[in-house]
A = this chain, B = another copy of it.
Amino acid sequence: MPDIKTAIILVHCPDQKGIIVAVGDFILKNGGNVIHLDEHVDAATQTFFMRVEWDLDGFGIATEKISEFFQTLVANRFDMIWRLYFSDAVPRMAIFVSKLSHCLYDLLSRCQSGEWTVEVPLIVSNHPDLESVARGFGIPFHVLPITPENKHEQEQQTFDLLQQHRIDFVVLARYMQVLTEDFVARYPNKIINIHHSFLPAFPGARPYHSAHERGVKVIGATSHYVTTNLDEGPIIEQDVVRVSHEDDVSDLVRKGRDVEKIVLSRAVWNHVRRMVLVCGNRTVVFS
Protein backbone atom coordinates (compact mmCIF):
# COMPACT_ATOMS: atom_id res chain seq x y z
CA MET A 1 0.00 0.00 0.00
CA PRO A 2 1.66 3.27 -1.05
CA ASP A 3 1.86 6.16 1.38
CA ILE A 4 -0.38 8.50 -0.52
CA LYS A 5 -3.42 10.16 1.03
CA THR A 6 -6.64 9.25 -0.71
CA ALA A 7 -10.33 10.01 -0.41
CA ILE A 8 -12.91 7.24 -0.68
CA ILE A 9 -16.57 7.72 -1.42
CA LEU A 10 -19.13 4.96 -1.00
CA VAL A 11 -22.40 5.72 -2.75
CA HIS A 12 -25.73 4.15 -3.45
CA CYS A 13 -28.72 5.65 -5.18
CA PRO A 14 -31.45 4.83 -7.69
CA ASP A 15 -29.83 3.75 -10.96
CA GLN A 16 -29.86 6.46 -13.60
CA LYS A 17 -27.75 7.72 -16.46
CA GLY A 18 -24.68 9.85 -15.93
CA ILE A 19 -23.65 8.96 -12.37
CA ILE A 20 -20.17 7.69 -13.21
CA VAL A 21 -19.43 10.66 -15.41
CA ALA A 22 -20.69 13.11 -12.79
CA VAL A 23 -18.54 11.61 -10.05
CA GLY A 24 -15.57 11.24 -12.36
CA ASP A 25 -15.92 14.81 -13.49
CA PHE A 26 -16.08 16.06 -9.90
CA ILE A 27 -12.74 14.40 -9.23
CA LEU A 28 -11.09 15.18 -12.56
CA LYS A 29 -12.01 18.83 -12.79
CA ASN A 30 -10.63 19.45 -9.34
CA GLY A 31 -7.35 17.82 -10.21
CA GLY A 32 -7.83 14.43 -8.57
CA ASN A 33 -6.67 11.14 -10.03
CA VAL A 34 -8.97 8.13 -9.69
CA ILE A 35 -7.08 5.13 -8.30
CA HIS A 36 -9.98 2.69 -8.06
CA LEU A 37 -13.53 2.81 -9.29
CA ASP A 38 -15.95 -0.03 -8.80
CA GLU A 39 -19.62 0.10 -9.59
CA HIS A 40 -22.46 -2.36 -9.37
CA VAL A 41 -26.08 -2.17 -10.36
CA ASP A 42 -28.55 -4.40 -8.59
CA ALA A 43 -30.92 -5.22 -11.41
CA ALA A 44 -33.78 -6.33 -9.20
CA THR A 45 -34.00 -3.09 -7.20
CA GLN A 46 -32.47 -0.81 -9.87
CA THR A 47 -29.98 0.45 -7.30
CA PHE A 48 -26.60 1.84 -8.26
CA PHE A 49 -23.58 1.22 -5.97
CA MET A 50 -20.17 2.75 -6.34
CA ARG A 51 -16.87 2.95 -4.54
CA VAL A 52 -14.39 5.46 -5.87
CA GLU A 53 -10.97 6.29 -4.45
CA TRP A 54 -8.76 9.13 -5.60
CA ASP A 55 -5.39 10.58 -4.84
CA LEU A 56 -5.73 13.83 -2.91
CA ASP A 57 -2.33 15.13 -3.95
CA GLY A 58 -3.04 18.36 -5.80
CA PHE A 59 -6.80 18.07 -5.34
CA GLY A 60 -8.32 21.53 -5.58
CA ILE A 61 -10.92 21.27 -2.81
CA ALA A 62 -9.72 21.41 0.77
CA THR A 63 -10.18 18.17 2.66
CA GLU A 64 -12.71 19.60 5.08
CA LYS A 65 -14.76 21.06 2.24
CA ILE A 66 -15.04 17.96 0.07
CA SER A 67 -18.24 16.79 1.75
CA GLU A 68 -20.03 20.05 1.23
CA PHE A 69 -18.98 20.34 -2.39
CA PHE A 70 -19.78 16.73 -3.24
CA GLN A 71 -23.21 17.03 -1.65
CA THR A 72 -24.01 20.17 -3.59
CA LEU A 73 -22.44 19.37 -6.91
CA VAL A 74 -23.14 15.65 -7.23
CA ALA A 75 -25.08 13.91 -4.50
CA ASN A 76 -28.16 16.13 -4.57
CA ARG A 77 -28.59 15.58 -8.27
CA PHE A 78 -28.80 11.81 -8.00
CA ASP A 79 -30.43 11.45 -4.58
CA MET A 80 -27.34 9.71 -3.24
CA ILE A 81 -26.76 8.10 0.13
CA TRP A 82 -23.04 8.37 0.55
CA ARG A 83 -20.09 8.51 2.92
CA LEU A 84 -16.64 10.02 2.59
CA TYR A 85 -13.52 8.52 4.16
CA PHE A 86 -9.85 9.44 4.13
CA SER A 87 -7.11 6.86 3.94
CA ASP A 88 -5.08 8.52 6.67
CA ALA A 89 -7.85 8.31 9.25
CA VAL A 90 -7.03 5.35 11.46
CA PRO A 91 -10.21 3.47 12.45
CA ARG A 92 -10.71 2.88 16.16
CA MET A 93 -11.92 -0.65 16.91
CA ALA A 94 -13.27 -2.05 20.16
CA ILE A 95 -13.25 -5.81 20.64
CA PHE A 96 -15.79 -7.65 22.78
CA VAL A 97 -14.83 -11.15 23.97
CA SER A 98 -15.95 -13.79 26.42
CA LYS A 99 -13.68 -16.79 27.02
CA LEU A 100 -12.38 -17.95 23.64
CA SER A 101 -9.08 -16.49 22.48
CA HIS A 102 -8.61 -17.59 18.86
CA CYS A 103 -10.38 -14.66 17.18
CA LEU A 104 -8.89 -12.18 19.62
CA TYR A 105 -5.35 -13.34 18.87
CA ASP A 106 -6.02 -13.26 15.17
CA LEU A 107 -7.27 -9.68 15.29
CA LEU A 108 -4.63 -8.32 17.63
CA SER A 109 -1.68 -9.97 15.92
CA ARG A 110 -2.71 -8.34 12.63
CA CYS A 111 -2.81 -4.93 14.29
CA GLN A 112 0.49 -5.47 16.05
CA SER A 113 2.39 -6.76 13.03
CA GLY A 114 1.36 -3.78 10.93
CA GLU A 115 -0.82 -5.85 8.58
CA TRP A 116 -3.66 -3.57 9.61
CA THR A 117 -3.56 0.10 10.50
CA VAL A 118 -6.24 0.04 13.15
CA GLU A 119 -6.26 1.37 16.70
CA VAL A 120 -7.60 -0.90 19.46
CA PRO A 121 -8.14 1.41 22.43
CA LEU A 122 -9.92 -1.24 24.50
CA ILE A 123 -11.21 -4.74 24.90
CA VAL A 124 -14.45 -5.43 26.78
CA SER A 125 -15.35 -8.77 28.28
CA ASN A 126 -17.98 -10.25 30.55
CA HIS A 127 -15.32 -12.64 31.90
CA PRO A 128 -11.78 -12.06 33.16
CA ASP A 129 -10.29 -15.07 31.32
CA LEU A 130 -8.59 -13.26 28.46
CA GLU A 131 -7.08 -10.44 30.47
CA SER A 132 -3.58 -11.84 30.06
CA VAL A 133 -3.94 -11.91 26.28
CA ALA A 134 -4.86 -8.24 26.28
CA ARG A 135 -1.95 -7.49 28.59
CA GLY A 136 0.47 -9.24 26.21
CA PHE A 137 -0.56 -6.74 23.55
CA GLY A 138 -0.64 -3.80 25.96
CA ILE A 139 -4.35 -3.10 25.47
CA PRO A 140 -6.69 -2.02 28.30
CA PHE A 141 -9.07 -4.83 29.24
CA HIS A 142 -12.38 -4.00 30.89
CA VAL A 143 -14.24 -6.76 32.70
CA LEU A 144 -17.93 -5.94 32.84
CA PRO A 145 -19.77 -9.03 34.11
CA ILE A 146 -23.36 -9.54 33.04
CA THR A 147 -26.21 -10.81 35.18
CA PRO A 148 -29.90 -10.95 34.35
CA GLU A 149 -30.32 -7.89 36.55
CA ASN A 150 -27.55 -5.63 35.29
CA LYS A 151 -27.75 -6.11 31.55
CA HIS A 152 -28.88 -2.59 30.66
CA GLU A 153 -26.56 -1.04 33.18
CA GLN A 154 -23.62 -3.05 31.87
CA GLU A 155 -24.40 -1.98 28.32
CA GLN A 156 -24.58 1.62 29.42
CA GLN A 157 -21.14 1.31 31.00
CA THR A 158 -19.89 -0.28 27.83
CA PHE A 159 -21.38 2.45 25.70
CA ASP A 160 -19.78 5.11 27.91
CA LEU A 161 -16.41 3.44 27.40
CA LEU A 162 -16.89 3.35 23.63
CA GLN A 163 -17.87 7.02 23.59
CA GLN A 164 -15.00 8.03 25.78
CA HIS A 165 -12.53 6.23 23.51
CA ARG A 166 -14.19 7.53 20.32
CA ILE A 167 -14.73 4.01 18.98
CA ASP A 168 -15.68 3.78 15.31
CA PHE A 169 -16.79 0.17 15.24
CA VAL A 170 -17.09 -2.91 17.41
CA VAL A 171 -15.99 -6.47 16.71
CA LEU A 172 -17.67 -9.32 18.57
CA ALA A 173 -14.87 -11.87 18.68
CA ARG A 174 -16.93 -14.83 19.89
CA TYR A 175 -18.70 -12.61 22.44
CA MET A 176 -21.29 -14.86 23.99
CA GLN A 177 -23.93 -12.23 24.71
CA VAL A 178 -26.86 -10.90 22.76
CA LEU A 179 -26.80 -7.11 22.60
CA THR A 180 -29.99 -5.18 23.27
CA GLU A 181 -31.85 -3.36 20.51
CA ASP A 182 -30.89 -0.07 22.04
CA PHE A 183 -27.21 -0.82 21.90
CA VAL A 184 -27.37 -2.16 18.35
CA ALA A 185 -29.29 0.91 17.21
CA ARG A 186 -26.41 3.12 18.31
CA TYR A 187 -23.96 1.39 15.96
CA PRO A 188 -25.82 0.66 12.73
CA ASN A 189 -23.63 -1.46 10.42
CA LYS A 190 -20.78 -0.85 12.83
CA ILE A 191 -20.92 -4.01 14.92
CA ILE A 192 -19.32 -7.01 13.24
CA ASN A 193 -20.08 -10.49 14.59
CA ILE A 194 -18.72 -13.93 13.78
CA HIS A 195 -21.25 -16.72 13.92
CA HIS A 196 -19.87 -20.23 14.03
CA SER A 197 -22.03 -21.69 11.30
CA PHE A 198 -22.77 -21.28 7.67
CA LEU A 199 -25.83 -19.07 8.03
CA PRO A 200 -28.74 -19.36 7.53
CA ALA A 201 -28.00 -22.96 8.57
CA PHE A 202 -27.70 -23.46 12.32
CA PRO A 203 -28.47 -20.05 13.77
CA GLY A 204 -28.49 -19.60 17.53
CA ALA A 205 -26.67 -21.63 20.12
CA ARG A 206 -24.48 -24.71 19.67
CA PRO A 207 -24.30 -24.83 15.88
CA TYR A 208 -21.50 -27.40 15.87
CA HIS A 209 -23.64 -29.78 17.88
CA SER A 210 -26.47 -29.29 15.40
CA ALA A 211 -24.13 -29.73 12.44
CA HIS A 212 -22.83 -32.98 13.88
CA GLU A 213 -26.31 -34.27 14.54
CA ARG A 214 -27.41 -33.42 11.00
CA GLY A 215 -24.37 -35.17 9.57
CA VAL A 216 -23.24 -32.36 7.26
CA LYS A 217 -20.06 -32.81 5.23
CA VAL A 218 -19.02 -29.15 5.31
CA ILE A 219 -19.12 -26.66 8.18
CA GLY A 220 -18.61 -22.91 8.01
CA ALA A 221 -18.56 -19.53 9.62
CA THR A 222 -20.34 -16.27 8.84
CA SER A 223 -19.33 -12.72 9.62
CA HIS A 224 -22.16 -10.21 9.52
CA TYR A 225 -23.26 -6.84 10.76
CA VAL A 226 -25.35 -7.11 13.88
CA THR A 227 -28.97 -6.08 13.63
CA THR A 228 -31.78 -6.53 16.07
CA ASN A 229 -32.65 -9.88 14.50
CA LEU A 230 -30.22 -12.42 15.94
CA ASP A 231 -27.91 -13.96 13.32
CA GLU A 232 -29.88 -12.33 10.53
CA GLY A 233 -27.84 -9.22 9.78
CA PRO A 234 -26.18 -8.45 6.42
CA ILE A 235 -23.49 -11.05 5.65
CA ILE A 236 -20.01 -9.68 4.93
CA GLU A 237 -18.05 -12.90 4.52
CA GLN A 238 -18.47 -16.68 4.76
CA ASP A 239 -16.24 -19.66 4.28
CA VAL A 240 -16.32 -23.38 4.92
CA VAL A 241 -14.17 -26.41 5.68
CA ARG A 242 -14.81 -30.08 4.94
CA VAL A 243 -15.61 -32.48 7.73
CA SER A 244 -16.33 -36.20 7.76
CA HIS A 245 -17.92 -38.92 9.84
CA GLU A 246 -14.59 -39.19 11.67
CA ASP A 247 -15.07 -35.75 13.20
CA ASP A 248 -16.92 -35.62 16.49
CA VAL A 249 -18.27 -32.38 17.92
CA SER A 250 -14.90 -31.44 19.41
CA ASP A 251 -13.28 -31.86 15.99
CA LEU A 252 -15.92 -29.61 14.43
CA VAL A 253 -15.23 -27.03 17.12
CA ARG A 254 -11.50 -27.22 16.45
CA LYS A 255 -11.75 -27.09 12.66
CA GLY A 256 -14.41 -24.42 12.89
CA ARG A 257 -12.20 -22.13 14.96
CA ASP A 258 -9.79 -21.75 12.05
CA VAL A 259 -12.59 -20.76 9.71
CA GLU A 260 -14.10 -18.40 12.28
CA LYS A 261 -10.96 -16.41 12.82
CA ILE A 262 -10.06 -16.10 9.14
CA VAL A 263 -13.62 -15.17 8.13
CA LEU A 264 -13.92 -12.58 10.88
CA SER A 265 -10.58 -11.01 10.03
CA ARG A 266 -11.44 -10.86 6.33
CA ALA A 267 -14.69 -9.11 7.20
CA VAL A 268 -12.97 -6.59 9.45
CA TRP A 269 -10.32 -5.97 6.79
CA ASN A 270 -13.00 -5.23 4.21
CA HIS A 271 -14.81 -2.97 6.66
CA VAL A 272 -11.76 -0.88 7.57
CA ARG A 273 -10.72 -0.48 3.94
CA ARG A 274 -14.20 0.93 3.28
CA MET A 275 -15.06 -1.87 0.87
CA VAL A 276 -18.49 -2.68 2.28
CA LEU A 277 -21.83 -1.08 1.49
CA VAL A 278 -25.04 -2.23 3.12
CA CYS A 279 -28.32 -2.06 1.28
CA GLY A 280 -31.37 -3.59 2.88
CA ASN A 281 -30.18 -6.83 4.42
CA ARG A 282 -27.39 -7.50 1.94
CA THR A 283 -23.88 -6.23 1.46
CA VAL A 284 -21.94 -5.11 -1.55
CA VAL A 285 -18.30 -6.00 -0.86
CA PHE A 286 -16.07 -4.39 -3.44
CA SER A 287 -12.74 -6.00 -4.18
Contacts and interface: CB of A to CB of B under 8 A. Distances in A.
18 contacts: A17-B34, A21-B28, A42-B245, A100-B113, A101-B113, A136-B137, A199-B201, A200-B202, A215-B234, A216-B235, A217-B237, A217-B238, A220-B240, A240-B240, A244-B285, A245-B282, A245-B284, A262-B262
A56 to B, nearest CB: 14
A218 B245 contact: no
A80 interface: no
A35 interface: yes
A248 B24 contact: no
Interface in A121-176: 135-137
Contact of A214 (B24, B102, B200, B217): B200
B282 A215 contact: yes
A28 B282 CA distance: 30
Interface residues of A, number: 69
Nearest to A234: B215
Contacts of A106: 105
Contacts of A44: 248
Contact of A37 (B20, B282, B285): B20
Interface in A11-37: 17-18, 20-21, 24-25, 28, 33-37
A80 to B, nearest CB: 16
A25 B21 contact: yes
Contacts of A24: 20-21, 24
